[in-house]
Amino acid sequence: MKKVKLSSPWVTFYRELNALFEADPDVLVEYKEGDKEIRVFVKGSDKADAIAKILPVKKDFGNVTIHIAVMPTSKKMTKLELYKQAFAGNPAFSFAVSVGGLYTNPVNYVVFRNKVVQFWNDNLGDINGNSSMLFEDCARNVFGDDDILYCTDKPENLGMVYSTDKGVEKEMEEVIKIDD
């Protein structure tokens, strides 16, 4: 029989942060049980600067504060440029765009691939203890940035059935495949 072990909320935060970057060969997220710091190792100073600027420096979980350590920052960039640089080469990321309206300020969107990420997280609602979520959910929980809206790419970009504006479904030409 499996033993049930419950992790602290900051361990879940680490797992979400790791899930965002684990497919990126230039980024390594590290946390050791009992530490009060999450370390993010990044190849390339521009990418490190971007990640350091969009990640919070610390995250409070009640009476416990976890610090997030990334290489020092130096370059001035807009928030959208930071996200583009931080996720460059990361297969979880689709694109980032700013959309303006006639009556509103521009709205910044960071769009992730339409893919479910799954990681072990002592989830009592799953027989194997896994948590399953979209990359956008991980980003929202990790960054918590009010100036950015996190989204998921459209299914049509993955070869899935998609309804047009007239409500007529396009027929699939091949079986849906998920790469990776």
In a domain, 153, yes or no: yes
In a domain, 98, yes or no: yes
User: Phi, psi at residue 70, to the nearest 5°?
Assistant: -135, 160
In a domain, 18, yes or no: yes
Query: Span 143-165, mean pLDDT?
Result: 67
In a domain, 77, yes or no: yes
In a domain, 25, yes or no: yes
User: Tell me: the pLDDT tens digits for 1-30?
Assistant: 667 678 889 999 999 999 999 999 889 999
Domain that holds residue 123: 9-158
The pLDDT of residue 138 is 93
Tokens representing residue 166 in the block = 């007239």
Cα gap 4→7, rounded to integer Å: 10
In a domain, 2, yes or no: no
Q: Give Cα separations from 55 to 25, 70, 71 (angstroms).
A: 19, 9, 12
User: Tell me: the pLDDT tens digits for 28-71?
Assistant: 999 988 889 999 989 888 899 899 999 999 999 999 999 999 96
In a domain, 106, yes or no: yes
Looking at the structure of the chain, the number of domains it has is 1
The reported pTM is: 0.63
In a domain, 87, yes or no: yes
Q: What is the 3-state secondary structure of the chain? A: CCCCCCCCHHHHHHHHHHHHHCCCCCEEEECCCCCCEEEEEECCHHHHHHHHHHCCCEEEECCEEEEEECCCCCCCCCHHHHHHHHCCCCCCEEEEEEECCCCCCCEEEEEECCCEEEEECCCCCCCCCEEEEEHHHHHHHHHCCCCEEEEECCHHHHCCCCECCCCCECCCCCCCCCCC
Nearest to 115 by CA among 100, 95, 136: 136
Count of positions (residues) in the chain: 180
Contacts of 19 (CB under 8 A, 6+ apart): 117, 119, 135, 138
Residue recorded with tokens 């059935």 = 161
Average pLDDT, the chain: 80
